[in-house]
Homo-oligomer: A and B are copies of this chain.
Protein backbone atom coordinates (compact mmCIF):
# COMPACT_ATOMS: atom_id res chain seq x y z
CA UNK A 1 0.00 0.00 0.00
CA UNK A 2 1.35 3.46 -0.89
CA UNK A 3 2.07 5.68 2.13
CA UNK A 4 -0.72 8.11 2.80
CA UNK A 5 0.10 11.81 2.28
CA UNK A 6 -2.10 14.05 4.38
CA UNK A 7 -3.24 17.42 2.98
CA UNK A 8 -1.10 19.05 5.68
CA UNK A 9 2.04 17.24 4.53
CA UNK A 10 1.28 18.17 0.93
CA UNK A 11 0.85 21.83 1.86
CA UNK A 12 4.10 21.81 3.78
CA UNK A 13 5.99 20.20 0.88
CA UNK A 14 4.54 22.79 -1.51
CA UNK A 15 5.57 25.62 0.80
CA UNK A 16 9.13 24.29 1.05
CA UNK A 17 9.39 23.87 -2.71
CA UNK A 18 8.09 27.42 -3.24
CA UNK A 19 10.50 28.83 -0.66
CA UNK A 20 13.47 27.15 -2.35
CA UNK A 21 12.32 28.43 -5.77
CA UNK A 22 11.91 31.98 -4.40
CA UNK A 23 15.39 32.04 -2.82
CA UNK A 24 16.93 30.69 -6.03
CA UNK A 25 15.03 33.22 -8.16
CA UNK A 26 16.00 36.00 -5.74
CA UNK A 27 19.68 35.10 -6.02
CA UNK A 28 19.49 35.09 -9.83
CA UNK A 29 17.38 38.27 -10.16
CA UNK A 30 19.33 40.34 -7.59
CA UNK A 31 22.57 38.87 -9.01
CA UNK A 32 21.75 40.35 -12.42
CA UNK A 33 20.04 43.52 -11.23
CA UNK A 34 20.34 45.13 -7.77
CA UNK A 35 16.97 46.86 -8.34
CA UNK A 36 15.07 43.62 -9.11
CA UNK A 37 11.44 43.93 -7.96
CA UNK A 38 9.25 41.50 -6.01
CA UNK A 39 7.09 41.04 -9.14
CA UNK A 40 10.10 40.03 -11.24
CA UNK A 41 11.26 37.59 -8.57
CA UNK A 42 7.78 36.04 -8.21
CA UNK A 43 7.66 35.51 -11.98
CA UNK A 44 11.15 33.99 -12.08
CA UNK A 45 10.20 31.65 -9.21
CA UNK A 46 6.95 30.65 -10.94
CA UNK A 47 4.80 31.71 -7.96
CA UNK A 48 2.12 34.35 -7.52
CA UNK A 49 2.67 37.57 -5.61
CA UNK A 50 0.38 36.34 -2.84
CA UNK A 51 2.54 33.26 -2.34
CA UNK A 52 5.72 35.38 -2.44
CA UNK A 53 4.37 37.82 0.17
CA UNK A 54 3.17 34.84 2.23
CA UNK A 55 6.84 33.91 2.66
CA UNK A 56 8.40 37.40 2.78
CA UNK A 57 6.44 40.44 3.85
CA UNK A 58 8.89 42.88 2.22
CA UNK A 59 11.63 43.09 -0.40
CA UNK A 60 14.11 43.75 2.41
CA UNK A 61 13.11 40.54 4.19
CA UNK A 62 13.56 38.55 0.97
CA UNK A 63 16.92 40.20 0.31
CA UNK A 64 18.01 39.27 3.84
CA UNK A 65 17.07 35.62 3.22
CA UNK A 66 18.86 35.51 -0.15
CA UNK A 67 21.96 37.10 1.39
CA UNK A 68 21.90 34.63 4.29
CA UNK A 69 21.60 31.72 1.85
CA UNK A 70 24.49 33.02 -0.27
CA UNK A 71 26.72 33.59 2.76
CA UNK A 72 25.99 30.05 3.95
CA UNK A 73 27.10 28.87 0.51
CA UNK A 74 30.25 31.01 0.81
CA UNK A 75 31.02 29.46 4.21
CA UNK A 76 30.78 26.01 2.66
CA UNK A 77 33.18 27.17 -0.06
CA UNK A 78 35.53 28.35 2.73
CA UNK A 79 35.41 24.90 4.36
CA UNK A 80 36.09 23.24 1.01
CA UNK A 81 39.17 25.48 0.61
CA UNK A 82 40.63 23.85 3.77
CA UNK A 83 41.98 26.86 5.68
CA UNK A 84 43.83 24.52 8.09
CA UNK A 85 45.96 22.83 5.41
CA UNK A 86 49.38 23.86 4.13
CA UNK A 87 50.98 27.25 4.62
CA UNK A 88 48.74 30.08 5.80
CA UNK A 89 49.68 32.15 2.72
CA UNK A 90 48.52 29.39 0.36
CA UNK A 91 45.40 28.75 2.45
CA UNK A 92 44.51 32.45 2.37
CA UNK A 93 44.94 32.48 -1.41
CA UNK A 94 42.47 29.58 -1.62
CA UNK A 95 39.96 31.42 0.61
CA UNK A 96 40.33 34.57 -1.48
CA UNK A 97 39.72 32.63 -4.69
CA UNK A 98 36.73 30.85 -3.16
CA UNK A 99 35.26 34.17 -1.98
CA UNK A 100 35.70 35.66 -5.41
CA UNK A 101 34.04 32.68 -7.12
CA UNK A 102 30.93 33.09 -4.95
CA UNK A 103 30.90 36.91 -5.30
CA UNK A 104 31.47 36.78 -9.05
CA UNK A 105 28.15 34.96 -9.41
CA UNK A 106 26.17 37.62 -7.52
CA UNK A 107 27.69 41.09 -8.00
CA UNK A 108 24.21 42.62 -8.20
CA UNK A 109 23.24 40.96 -4.91
CA UNK A 110 26.19 42.66 -3.20
CA UNK A 111 25.12 46.02 -4.68
CA UNK A 112 21.51 45.48 -3.55
CA UNK A 113 22.68 44.50 -0.06
CA UNK A 114 24.93 47.57 0.27
CA UNK A 115 22.09 49.85 -0.88
CA UNK A 116 19.68 48.30 1.62
CA UNK A 117 21.84 47.48 4.65
CA UNK A 118 24.78 49.86 4.13
CA UNK A 119 28.44 48.81 3.83
CA UNK A 120 28.70 48.27 7.60
CA UNK A 121 25.47 46.23 7.67
CA UNK A 122 26.83 43.97 4.94
CA UNK A 123 30.12 43.60 6.78
CA UNK A 124 28.28 42.62 9.97
CA UNK A 125 26.60 39.76 8.10
CA UNK A 126 30.08 38.45 7.17
CA UNK A 127 31.17 38.08 10.83
CA UNK A 128 31.43 34.26 10.74
CA UNK A 129 33.63 34.37 7.65
CA UNK A 130 35.68 37.26 9.04
CA UNK A 131 36.30 35.11 12.13
CA UNK A 132 37.79 32.37 9.96
CA UNK A 133 39.99 34.85 8.08
CA UNK A 134 41.09 36.27 11.43
CA UNK A 135 42.08 32.81 12.72
CA UNK A 136 43.97 32.04 9.51
CA UNK A 137 45.84 35.36 9.57
CA UNK A 138 46.73 34.70 13.22
CA UNK A 139 48.17 31.32 12.24
CA UNK A 140 50.14 32.98 9.40
CA UNK A 141 51.54 35.57 11.81
CA UNK A 142 52.57 32.83 14.27
CA UNK A 143 54.20 30.77 11.52
CA UNK A 144 56.14 33.73 10.09
CA UNK A 145 54.12 33.87 6.86
CA UNK A 146 52.39 37.23 7.46
CA UNK A 147 53.60 40.60 8.71
CA UNK A 148 53.21 41.38 12.41
CA UNK A 149 54.05 45.11 12.18
CA UNK A 150 50.41 45.98 11.45
CA UNK A 151 47.37 45.13 13.63
CA UNK A 152 45.74 41.78 12.84
CA UNK A 153 42.28 43.43 12.67
CA UNK A 154 43.59 45.67 9.92
CA UNK A 155 44.95 42.73 7.92
CA UNK A 156 41.51 41.08 8.18
CA UNK A 157 39.83 44.32 7.08
CA UNK A 158 42.30 44.65 4.19
CA UNK A 159 41.59 41.11 2.96
CA UNK A 160 37.82 41.63 3.15
CA UNK A 161 38.09 45.15 1.71
CA UNK A 162 40.22 44.18 -1.30
CA UNK A 163 37.90 41.29 -2.26
CA UNK A 164 34.84 43.55 -2.14
CA UNK A 165 36.69 46.43 -3.81
CA UNK A 166 37.42 44.10 -6.73
CA UNK A 167 33.72 43.18 -6.90
CA UNK A 168 32.82 46.89 -7.12
CA UNK A 169 35.53 47.51 -9.72
CA UNK A 170 34.28 44.62 -11.87
CA UNK A 171 30.69 45.88 -11.53
CA UNK A 172 31.86 49.37 -12.61
CA UNK A 173 33.76 47.77 -15.56
CA UNK A 174 37.09 49.16 -14.39
CA UNK A 175 38.52 45.68 -13.75
CA UNK A 176 38.22 42.81 -16.23
CA UNK A 177 36.15 40.00 -14.70
CA UNK A 178 38.55 37.30 -15.97
CA UNK A 179 41.47 39.08 -14.36
CA UNK A 180 39.86 39.63 -10.95
CA UNK A 181 40.71 36.35 -9.19
CA UNK A 182 44.44 36.58 -9.93
CA UNK A 183 44.48 40.32 -9.19
CA UNK A 184 42.86 40.05 -5.76
CA UNK A 185 45.04 37.09 -4.79
CA UNK A 186 48.27 38.90 -5.77
CA UNK A 187 47.25 42.10 -3.96
CA UNK A 188 46.19 40.40 -0.73
CA UNK A 189 49.40 38.33 -0.72
CA UNK A 190 51.53 41.45 -1.14
CA UNK A 191 49.63 43.43 1.49
CA UNK A 192 50.01 40.69 4.12
CA UNK A 193 53.56 39.53 3.31
CA UNK A 194 56.45 40.40 5.60
CA UNK A 195 58.00 43.58 4.13
CA UNK A 196 61.28 43.23 2.20
CA UNK A 197 64.35 43.06 4.39
CA UNK A 198 62.53 42.29 7.68
CA UNK A 199 62.48 39.14 9.73
Is there an interface contact between A175 and B190, defined as CB atoms closer than 8 Å?
A: no
Contacts of A168 in B (CB 8 A): 119-120
From 165 to 199 in chain A, residues with beta carbon under 8 angstroms from any chain B beta carbon are 165-166, 168-169, 172, 174-176, 179, 183, 186-187, 189-191, 193, 195-196
Spot the interface stretch: A2-10, A99-107, A149-157. Answer: A149-157
Is there an interface contact between B149 and A158, defined as CB atoms closer than 8 Å?
A: no
A115 within 8 A of B: yes
A114 within 8 A of B: yes
A46 within 8 A of B: no
A182 smallest CB distance to B (angstroms)? 9
A54 within 8 A of B: no
Cβ-closest chain B residue relative to A175:
B154
Contacts of A114 in B (CB 8 A): 119
Contacts of A158 in B (CB 8 A): 162, 165, 187
**Known contacts A191-B190, A193-B190; is-contact A153 B165 (Cβ 8 Å):** no
Contacts of A196 in B (CB 8 A): 193, 196
Is there an interface contact between B153 and A174, defined as CB atoms closer than 8 Å?
A: yes
A131 within 8 A of B: no
How far is B183's CA from A162's CA once the two chains are assembled, in angstroms?
15
Cβ-closest chain B residue relative to A179:
B151
Contacts of A166 in B (CB 8 A): 154
Contacts of A154 in B (CB 8 A): 166, 169, 174-175, 183, 187
Q: Measuring CB to CB, which residues of chain A are less than 8 angstroms from any residue of chain B?
A: 114-115, 118-120, 147, 149-151, 153-154, 157-158, 161-162, 165-166, 168-169, 172, 174-176, 179, 183, 186-187, 189-191, 193, 195-196
Apart from A153-B169, A154-B187, A161-B162, what are 14 other A-B pairs with CB-CB below 8 Å? A119-B119, A120-B172, A147-B190, A150-B183, A151-B175, A151-B176, A151-B183, A153-B174, A153-B175, A154-B166, A154-B174, A157-B165, A157-B175, A186-B195
